[in-house]
Amino acid sequence: AQTVTQSQPEMSVQEAETVTLSCTYDTSESDYYLFWYKQPPSRQMILVIRQEAYKQQNATENRFSVNFQKAAKSFSLKISDSQLGDAAMYFCAYRGFISNFGNEKLTFGTGTRLTIIP
Amino acid sequence: DTAVSQTPKYLVTQMGNDKSIKCEQNLGHDTMYWYKQDSKKFLKIMFSYNNKELIINETVPNRFSPKSPDKAHLNLHINSLELGDSAVYFCASSQDRASGAKETQYFGPGTRLLVL
């Protein structure tokens, strides 16, 4: 079974600075997908960024980028120029490749609470 | 337009009652899910349906019964509610497996259930 580990329960960063959230996972599959979701106090789960394991290039979305290290099974999220609106819980999630029914589920880490200091 | 909607957003009820949470998506997706987020914010899959057929059931007590009248709806009915059922329940949807790289799941706003 796949597992996802987020070792930082809480992180804080000064506004406009850069912060990196860590995520490691365990899987025996060679193809899969990784995601970062953000959950602000509104409780809504918002997709931040996704990465396909077969792509070597790290995904980027504006101020958000990932450092995907497949051999190390590491998938960290870097937030540049942090803004007050980035304050939220961040969840790393794993999804198996679409090959069998049942692979579609997301397996989540325990989350990292990010605080932005004005 | 709301992509994935859930009703109600808040539900407060007594132990032993039966309650339902409704979910609808207007994204044209074929696969829908229910996740449970506990008091420690941990999210775990409960069920998944593809084209109205159950494909994932993660050892959830049979007091929980999902129902999918069509592929745009996935409702969750809970019988004999217990204190431990208090949580936030999220519905999500994604495109079906035959459509290739559209496996991103989009979540509803969540339903906070409190059992007293």
Per-residue pLDDT tens for A18-42?
Answer: 999 999 999 988 888 999 999 999 9
- pLDDT score of B63: 95
The answer to whether position B20 is within a domain reads: yes
Range of the domain at A74: 3-117
The answer to whether position B48 is within a domain reads: yes
The domain total for chain B is: 1
Joined tokens for residue B2:
């709301």
pLDDT at A97 over 60: yes
Give all strands (DSSP E) within B42-110, no chain letters.
Answer: 43-50, 53-57, 64-70, 73-78, 87-94, 106-107
Residue B102 confidence class, pLDDT cut points 50, 70, 90:
low
Residue B5 C-alpha, separation from nearest chain A C-alpha, in angstroms: 11
Q: Residue B89 in contact with residue B35, Cβ under 8 Å?
A: yes
Chain A residue with minimum CA distance to B10? A43
pLDDT at A99 over 90: no
Residue B101 confidence class, pLDDT cut points 50, 70, 90:
very low
Interchain proximity B55–A43, CB inside 8 Å: no
B58 inside 8 A of chain A by CB: yes
Region A60-67 average pLDDT: 96
CATH of the domain at B42: 2.60.40.10
Distance (Å, whole) CA B17 – CA A1: 35
The answer to whether position B112 is within a domain reads: no
Give the closest of B45, B97, B110 to A106, CB-based.
B45
The answer to whether position B113 is within a domain reads: no
The answer to whether position B116 is within a domain reads: no
pLDDT single digits (tens) B64-74: 999 999 989 99
pLDDT single digits (tens) B14-44: 999 999 999 999 998 888 999 999 999 999 9
**What is the SS3 assignment for B108?**
coil
What residues have CB less than 8 Å from A90, skipping those under 6 apart?
Answer: A6, A21, A36, A37, A38, A39, A48, A77, A111, A112, A113, A114
CATH of the domain at A59: 2.60.40.10
B8 upstream amide cis, omega within 30 of 0? yes
**What is the SS3 assignment for A64?**
strand
The answer to whether position B107 is within a domain reads: no
The domain total for chain A is: 1
Distance (Å, whole) CA B63 – CA B59: 11
- pLDDT score of B56: 80
Region B77-94 average pLDDT: 96
The answer to whether position B103 is within a domain reads: no
- pLDDT score of A105: 85
Region B54-69 average pLDDT: 88
A2 inside 8 A of chain B by CB: no
Distance (Å, whole) CA A51 – CA A59: 6
Range of the domain at B69: 4-97
